[in-house]
Chain A
């Protein structure tokens, strides 16, 4: 069975500062990895995903995540955050070819002006 650990429940950061949201997973099989973002009072939106190929994946709004198989991690980074990045970020994993997603407990990113 898979599991996902997001150690940081809350991350406050000043505007234009860099941020890293940590995600570690455990699985005995190959996995796909995802980051979803949930803005206040909205649903989950896919931010980026790793399925195969390059271990560094990027989103259109400046976030990136790197799949590290040896460390079983998929940390999310952004070099300079904006106020609009304030949201809850969920890391998720699924077995390759499987149906359901396993989510972490989420990290609330708060960008301080």
Chain B
């Protein structure tokens, strides 16, 4: 069964550094998402992406964040200058034109 994959599984970085989190959505999916889950808190929507552009974003998704689909398979989330409060589990999700989002296993980002 096809699945969403994410790399790396764990990323440790210094505050102020740039990080890129990578996702490979399911191949025939058209909509792509990033969510994050700060330890002990709820999963929060960050951004959705369709037809090579952002379709919706939350207040969390400020100018420090960007997303890109550099080729036909990858979907990336970049944090330009990481802050301590960016430490979280980041989930990628994708879907076709139906309403079920399929999630990847997540990348745990630790900012020191």
- Interface residues of chain A, those whose CB is within 8 Å of chain B, are 32, 34, 36, 42-46, 49, 51, 90, 92, 94, 96, 99-106
Mask for B39-57, Cβ within 8 A of A = 1, else 0? Answer: 0011111001010000110
**Interface assignment of B101: CB less than 8 Å from any CB of chain A:** yes
User: Is A43 a contact partner of B105 (Cβ separation < 8 A)?
Assistant: yes
Whether A101 lies near B101 (C-beta < 8 A) is yes
**CB within 8 Å of A: which residues of B?**
4, 6, 31, 33, 35, 41-45, 48, 50, 55-56, 58, 91, 93, 99-106
CB distance from A35 to the nearest CB of B (A): 12
Pairwise interchain contact A44-B43, C-beta atoms closer than 8 A? yes
A46-B102, A100-B48 known; A90 vs B33 contact (CB < 8 Å): no
CB < 8 Å: which of A34, A43, A99, A104 contacts B91? Answer: A43
The chain B residue sitting closest to A104, CB to CB, is B42
